[in-house]
Amino acid sequence: MSLANGRTYLAIPGPSVVPDAVLRAMHRASPNIYEGELPDMMPGLTRDLKRVARTDGHVAIYISNGHGAWEAALANTVAPGETVLVLSTGHFALGWSRVAEARGIEVDLLDFGNGGPIDLDRVAERLKADAGHRYKAVMAVHVDTSSSNRNDFAPLRALLDDLGHPALLMADCIAAMGCDRFEMDAWGVDVTVTGSQKGLMCPPGLGFVFFNDRAADARKALERVSSYWDWTQRAAPEAFYQYFGGTAPTHHIYGLRTALDMIHDEGLDAIWARHATLARAIWTACAHWGQDGPLRLNVADPARRSHAVTALAIGKPLGRDLRRWCSDQAGVTLGIGLGMGNEDDPKGDGYFRFGHMGHVNTHMILGLMGSVEAGLGALKIPHRPGGVTEAAKVISGASSGV
């Protein structure tokens, strides 16, 4: 017998849950790409996208996933042979740095391990040592989806400004745009990349690169940019859909239009607050279970945790077993322990993650916590019972939780 039959919940950190309204918006006959509704939608779409990133700059839209957006950001700002400084707090910063290396860019890596935080003193040391300003960009990840560590960008901007260092500040905001607070302009970020399939609640397939005028100047100074990734035309809504870089991503645009309407109807501040409360409910349940068992939140300091994804350690092979139980008996799929493997646990079977980004609410998160508590019981994994009750207290306002 399986208890999993019913509506499933893909509780992994991307792709995320796609709202029915977004799916319905995409379910239509192919639209005319030359004139009419689709091209007419583009100026409003770019305006509303920029509101999500909190920027008055530009946005280039690609038919790609996040990896494409990574490539695009570098292709328009840093030439092969030039140098960047990468600040790593997990798997994804390392991934972005490999994209840079493959483009012939020299990477100077400061690795803060799986869970951070970024040590500003060490960053300052590196920047001071770069008196000749070899670094064209400082690259960091807002929320590292593997470790669930969240980094602040305003202190990095302050550091660059204090030292008079001209490097561009570039943010990978793929995991948590539209979930965790992110303010591109106020925080002094020059280039921000994201994708459609996490906080933006669409299927994978659109990559976005937001950039300001400083970054646009860096693009102009490059001798050549590969034509597909050149952001000049892709950031021009009137050109994007038709003339440049091939056919427009027709149905994704309709889905994104609906997702942006949902985001701005709710309001970004309300969305950030919803994610914060749901995340606290999750942390509180996990901390409670962990008092009498092996479960641990990967990021110890709540102030450094993302509100969109939570990485957990439980010991090999219990992470894998719990994931299996939840998908077989609860209809909920947990995330794997990405990038967390080590010598004793090469596959990361001792780790798992919750994705709680985008279209998620109380009943989904309490259902997720209830499913995990049932799985801990079924698998006889030691834990203190009652984590779900503690999570419910956070939701009801009876407790502020972790």
Sequence-distant (≥ 6) Cβ neighbours of residue 102 within 8 angstroms: none
Amino acid type, 109: L
Binding residue for ligand PLP (CB under 6 A) from 22, 39, 57, 92? Answer: 92
Interface with ligand PLP: number of residues (CB under 6 A)? 13
By C-beta, is 172 or 349 nearer to ligand PLP? 172
Helix then strand count (H, E) for the chain reads 14, 14
The token pair at 101 is 């290396």
Minimal CB distance to ligand PLP: which residue? 66
Write each residue from 42 to 71 as x if it is in contact with ligand PLP (CB under 6 A), else as -, in one continuous string.
-----------------------xxx----
Q: Which stretch binds ligand PLP (CB under 6 A): 140-148, 208-216, 271-279, 337-345?
A: 140-148
Query: Applying CB under 6 A, does 172 fall inside the site for ligand PLP?
Result: yes
Write each residue from 6 to 45 as x if it is in contact with ligand PLP (CB under 6 A), else as -, in one continuous string.
--------x-------------------------------
Closest to 30 in 3D by CA, of 251, 215, 357, 230: 251
Closest to 199 in 3D by CA, of 7, 372, 22: 22
Q: Which stretch binds ligand PLP (CB under 6 A): 139-147, 246-254, 358-366, 391-399?
A: 139-147
Say if residue 185 is exposed, middle or buried (CB neighbours under 10 Å; 0-12, 13-18, 19+): middle
Q: Which stretch binds ligand PLP (CB under 6 A): 129-137, 141-149, 229-237, 285-293?
A: 141-149
Q: How far apart are the first and last CA of the chain?
A: 37
Query: Applying CB under 6 A, does 141 fall inside the site for ligand PLP?
Result: yes
Amino acid type, 100: A
CB of 147 vs ligand PLP, minimal distance in Å: 10
CA–CA distance, 319 with 336 (Å, rounded to integer): 8
Query: Applying CB under 6 A, does 145 fall inside the site for ligand PLP?
Result: yes
DSSP label at residue 156: H
By C-beta, is 174 or 314 nearer to ligand PLP? 174
Alpha-carbon torsion, ordered 333, 338, 340, 343, to 10 deg:
100
CB of 73 vs ligand PLP, minimal distance in Å: 11
- Interface residues toward ligand PLP, by CB under 6 A: 14, 65-67, 92, 141, 144-145, 172, 174-175, 195, 204
